[in-house]
Structure 1
Amino acid sequence: MSAEKLRDSVDTVHRLGKKSTPATFNGRPRSIIIQFGLRTVKEEVWSKSREARVCQDLHIYFKKDYIKEDREARAKLYPLVQEAKKRNLKAYLLEGYAMIDGRRVDPPPEALRLQTRRSDFTVHICSATRYEAGTTIRMKLLVFLLMFVWKLSVSRGGLSLSLTWSLPDVADTEVSCVFMERCILPCSFQADTRVFIDWFQLTAGDFCTHSYYDNQDQLQHQHQMYRNRTSLFKDQISRGNASLQLTGVKVQDEGRYQCCTSTMNENNSSFVNVKVDAPVQEVNIQQVENRMSCSSEGIYPQPELTWSTTPPSNINLHNTTTVQQNEEQLYSISSSLILSDNDTDLVYSCTVKTRRNNMTASLSRTRKSVNGGIIGGVIGAVLVAAAVGLFLFYKKKKLHRHNLQKQHD
């Protein structure tokens, strides 16, 4: 959209309320209302700019105000949308009509009027520290702010500075959940007396995660994977909180979720990316003869295992590592080292690491443990030799007595 087209489409721009003085300033700047001559332009500006990064950086947010005819139409269509949802049909409200099961549904004839009135678009400035009382904001600035690409060029003394702001898509909310614990997926809407709330898991195939309307949960079509594991904050819905609480988090819960809210005044949709972590809880290390082994289990996502020594040495730690995954999609990892007789008086450390945490276990290997087998073998041989010697000595002595007795007889 060009700047010229935007200027031609904006009817009026003005502040709401009376001008503040330093004595009457309450800390909040007055809102500014923009009235469009074309509904299509207003909708395009609304969809592209309501949560744009440039507006967030300038502490400015937008609120759309439906014209009277649209409010009347939505009031009459709301029961139809409500009934369609009860029949498991995809239904939602738009400005002056509804979409039910992929078809447009217009309001009853008595609600139809010529919609020639202007569409209002209110701009709220949130930061009182940036825009103090009495500060004049040029209305042209707000018009330019609503353009999809806002370019400001400044030239001074032969030095040219070109600053371009593009309005990007709103990023998904990132949420990290811990395996078998509870997790909250955030979602909010402009508070209203009646609201539809629908949560969907998109990664696995648009699963119905949770639905709410008629002031109660509607779980008839909830996917079995989420049975008895989802809930809303019922006492906060009236304040615009549509966040979903998920308990007993599983690895299968990982993925992209969509929160859809629909009220008499607006429809909103937001997305949440859920990552599941099963952190490292324990690392086991042990030595059997000349083999050092290390293992850990119940981890997600796939971990990494590394060996090290203290003090650091130049020996090559040749190891064999295996990774397995169980039916819960949790990983177990194990690794073993073959120790050399020359690698004495070292502390061997095994570290298991994931994106959430890491844990290390250590075990000392001393010269005594290396020579222990040899010393034990020598002692054993000496004892055997001593036993054999005693046996031969007593046998020889007994034979000698027997010969003396025979000579005496």
Structure 2
Amino acid sequence: FSLVVTSLYALACLLVWLSTCLSSCALVCLAACIHVPDNVICFFSVTVLVVGSTDPVRGIVGGDVILPCFLRPTTSAVEESVEWQRPVLEPKEVHLYRDRSDDNVIQYPSYSGRTSLFREELENGNVSLKLTNVKLSDAGNYTCYIPTLGHQKTTIELYVGGAAPRPWLSIVRTKDKEVVLKCEAEGLVYKPELVLLNSKGTILPADEPTERPMDSEGLYTVTHYFTVQKTATNVFTCQVQQLEIKHMRKTQIHVPDKMFHEEAEDLEWKIGFGIGCVVGGVVGGVVGGVVVGVVVFLFMRKNNPNNALKQHPEEKAKETNDGCADSGIPLLEEQQ
């Protein structure tokens, strides 16, 4: 009877242990039981696993990003070897940590000076990689590999999006006490979503959405026109989002009240013509000033009496001798 009770107790302990292991999804649990006289002895073991992120990590060009990687259950990685790799590269090493120090002798060149581990967190099993000054070429799959722990590894995918400039928002024209606004965003890596909001945060409908195909560099440009009416504040916000990387930029504009009372007019053409006139006037003024300066300089030089002082000595002597001949004074012959 005692043997049965002991066996049931051991079985209960085993079930509790296994449920704990399975619930964590991070452990490999092994158990073995042996029967000895009047007792059952069970042995349990746990294998440390390398755990990353099941969801893609998203970064922005020029920013910093952290690729998560941990040892579970929590185990110090100070004495372990940590290798971050990109299998598609040659060499594939992105960052190496060995013998308690970084060892990036064979690191892929484009990652030089841009990678690091959280050294103070290694004791807690945190072997995550920090990547700075992110580039578009950094996008792809990364492997967090711990060769000293039974060659455990995990893969993390990195998405990289362009940190696009703020969208352009301008007044195009007026029509029937309404104003047409133009909102344009360019240089977007991921397909954008562009909207216009009023001061209350309400999304306004677009007149004619225009989306240009990707250019030679694979970047998007999107343009929308919106017809708006006068509001309490006349403040409107153009907002562009790249949903894949959760990136958003926006620009605001205030439309003067008088714009809603003017007759229909193409302000975009007017503004362009005005800028052209200003630029033309400036260029013309500069050219005209140069021409006038040259004419004045030549005139003053021609009428400056000091120019005589700069006359060549032989010419000055010739004029003196000519004067003597006219006065009847004999000229001295040059000695041979």
| Aligned equivalents of 2:63, 2:214: Cα separation in 1 | 23
Q: Is the 8 A contact 1:202 1:255 kept in 2?
A: no
Q: Is the 8 A contact 1:284 1:295 kept in 2?
A: yes
Q: Residue 45 of structure 2 aligns with which residue?
A: 122
CA gap 1:368/1:230 in 2 versus in 1, 3 angstroms: same
Q: Residue 83 of structure 1 aligns with which residue?
A: none
Which digits, 9 at most, give the CA deviation of each residue in 1:285-316, with x for residues without a partner?
11244664222345442312245779999997
Give the secondary-structure state (helix, strand or coil) at the position aligned to 2:130: strand
Which digits, 9 at most, give the CA deviation of each residue in 1:223-282, with x for residues without a partner?
12211111122344354332211111122222221101022x533111212223445652
| Aligned equivalents of 1:316, 1:33: Cα separation in 2 | 60
Match of 1:305 among 178, 188, 194: 194
Match of 1:176 among 58, 62, 70: 58
CA gap 1:31/1:362 in 2 versus in 1, 3 angstroms: farther
Kindly provide the amino acid, as one letter, of the partner of residue 210 in structure 2. Answer: T
Identity across the alignment (%)? 20
Q: Residue 225 of structure 1 aligns with which residue?
A: 110
Give the secondary-structure state (helix, strand or coil) at the position aligned to 1:353: strand
Aligned pair count reads: 230
Q: Residue 389 of structure 1 aligns with which residue?
A: none
| Aligned equivalents of 1:253, 1:313: Cα separation in 2 | 35
Match of 1:283 among 167, 171, 194: 167
| Aligned equivalents of 2:131, 2:19: Cα separation in 1 | 29
Does residue 335 of the first structure (1) align with residue 223 of the second (2)?
yes
| Aligned equivalents of 1:304, 1:297: Cα separation in 2 | 12
Kindly report the root-mean-square deviation, in angstroms, between the aligned alpha carbons of the 2 structures. 4.9
Kindly provide the amino acid, as one letter, of the partner of residue 354 in structure 1. Answer: Q
Does residue 185 of the first structure (1) align with residue 70 of the second (2)?
no
| Aligned equivalents of 1:314, 1:214: Cα separation in 2 | 60
| Aligned equivalents of 1:261, 1:192: Cα separation in 2 | 9
TM-score normalised over the length of structure 2: 0.51
Match of 2:150 among 257, 266, 274: 266
| Structure 1 unmatched ranges of 5 or more | 1-11, 16-29, 35-48, 66-118, 125-168, 374-409
Q: Is the 8 A contact 2:185 2:221 kept in 1?
A: yes
Q: Is the 8 A contact 1:319 1:338 kept in 2?
A: no
Q: Is the 8 A contact 1:31 1:123 kept in 2?
A: no
Q: Residue 185 of structure 2 aligns with which residue?
A: 296
Match of 2:24 among 36, 56, 66: 56
CA gap 1:247/1:50 in 2 versus in 1, 3 angstroms: farther
Q: CA deviation at 1:203?
A: 6.1
Does residue 318 of the first structure (1) align with residue 208 of the second (2)?
yes
Q: Is the 8 A contact 1:51 1:61 kept in 2?
A: no
Q: Residue 140 of structure 2 aligns with which residue?
A: 255
CA gap 1:323/1:13 in 2 versus in 1, 3 angstroms: farther
Q: How does 1:40-79 map to 2 (within 5 A)?
A: 54-56=22-24, 61-62=27-28
Kindly provide the amino acid, as one letter, of the partner of residue 122 in structure 1. Answer: S
Q: Is the 8 A contact 1:233 1:244 kept in 2?
A: yes
| Aligned equivalents of 1:313, 1:253: Cα separation in 2 | 35
Does residue 199 of the first structure (1) align with residue 84 of the second (2)?
yes
Q: CA deviation at 1:217?
A: 2.3
Q: Residue 132 of structure 1 aligns with which residue?
A: none
CA gap 1:262/1:13 in 2 versus in 1, 3 angstroms: farther
TM-score normalised over the length of structure 1: 0.43
Kindly provide the amino acid, as one letter, of the partner of residue 211 in structure 1. Answer: L
Give the secondary-structure state (helix, strand or coil) at the position aligned to 2:263: helix
Kindly provide the amino acid, as one letter, of the partner of residue 187 in structure 1. Answer: C
| Aligned equivalents of 1:242, 1:364: Cα separation in 2 | 53
Q: Is the 8 A contact 1:349 1:363 kept in 2?
A: no
| Aligned equivalents of 1:281, 1:225: Cα separation in 2 | 25
| Structure 2 unmatched ranges of 5 or more | 1-7, 32-41, 175-179, 267-336
Question: Which structure's CA Rg is the greater one?
Answer: 2
CA gap 1:173/1:287 in 2 versus in 1, 3 angstroms: closer
Give the secondary-structure state (helix, strand or coil) at the position aligned to 1:260: strand
